[in-house]
Structure 1
Amino acid sequence: MGELRAEASGRDAAGFELPVLLFAGFRSIIDEMHRELAERGHPEVRPAYGYALQAVGRGGATASEIGRRLGVSKQAAGKTVERLEALGYVERVDDPRDGRRKLVRLTARGVDVLVKSAEGFERLRTRWVEVLGADRVRAMEADLRTMVPEGAFRLDAAGWFDN
């Protein structure tokens, strides 16, 4: 990483550095978030679980819906749901609209980890603002929104998020 930091000299960086730096920034935020969540009562949470909990949503969802929202197969979503259920973050209940289906719902523990995650991400963003300045962080966010095609974000590479 020392070679990448040397590029702050003002000359253009090599093309490979942009994705490496974006990924390293992402990992630094995610890793710090998960250290904080572990300290705040959620040591077993993995990055992919947070995305799955968000895919469950406030109203609940079926395993198929979770899979579609995450861009993974129903089977992959089902395995994640099984793990989240074993950890106490979700529960499966009969779908009140269709008794043949099971609905996955957040438990109080699932809501707690999402609330703590949101608070933690706010703290991390605040630290970036303290170091880089609010204008630079807002500009970086706007630039990334411009460059990332709408709907391009999918979690079909869940292995990237596992420790």
Structure 2
Amino acid sequence: MSATADDGRPGFELPLLLLAGFRALIDELHAELARQGHPHVRPAYGFAMQAIGPGGATASEVGRRLGVSKQAAGKTVDRLEELGYAERVDDPTDGRRKLVRLTGRGVDALDRSAVIFDGLRARWAAELGPGRLADLEDSLRTMAPAGLGVDAVSWLAGG
């Protein structure tokens, strides 16, 4: 017998519903990115491009920001380089280090992602109503730690 909240809804459904909502948004994002010329972008690449950021980062910094090893971050950066989303350049502040930077293609993918996410949020607001969506977001902010708060890439991969 499973424990339920006061309203009779089983507790195990909450994380499944949150995951299903997350998955629906991410799947729709990537389908639209593919239609807009970015068919090879995967969720892990999006996290990595965010970790690289506008100023660039070393592979070690990318790994720390993602919560993965330098080697795992390096493999992801290698793939982003192969796809034309990132490049390694000499660090202007330390010639011994390589800096990973987003290329124009990488910036374009992130810019398009932001616009697509805004559209997805607008669709959710139209479906649920703006007030209900704002309440949902406020409630999640209350319950979830600030920021992502987990090493999302390795956590989602089961690491």
**What code does the residue aligned with 2:151 have?**
R
Q: For the residues of structure 1 that align with 2:65 and 2:118, how far apart are their CA atoms?
A: 24
Question: 1:58 is paired with a residue of what secondary structure?
Answer: coil
TM-score of the two chains, using structure 2 as the length reference:
0.91
37, 61, 69: which one aligns with 2:57? 61
Tell me the matched-pair count: 151
Q: How does 1:2-151 map to 2 (within 5 A)?
A: 11-150=7-146
Root-mean-square deviation (CA), in Å? 1.4
Are residue 154 (structure 1) and residue 145 (structure 2) matched? no
Q: For the residues of structure 2 that align with 1:70 and 1:84, how far apart are their CA atoms?
A: 15
Question: 2:101 is paired with a residue of what secondary structure?
Answer: strand
Q: Deviations over 1:33-57 (max 9, x none)?
A: 0000000000001011001001001
Q: Which residue of 2 aligns with 1:7?
A: none
Unaligned runs of 5+ in 1: 1-10
Q: Deviations over 1:5-60 (max 9, x none)?
A: xxxxxx43111000000000000000010000000000001011001001001110
Percent identity for Structure 1 against Structure 2? 65
Q: CA deviation at 1:157?
A: 1.9
Q: Which moved more, 1:48-57 or 1:145-154?
A: 145-154
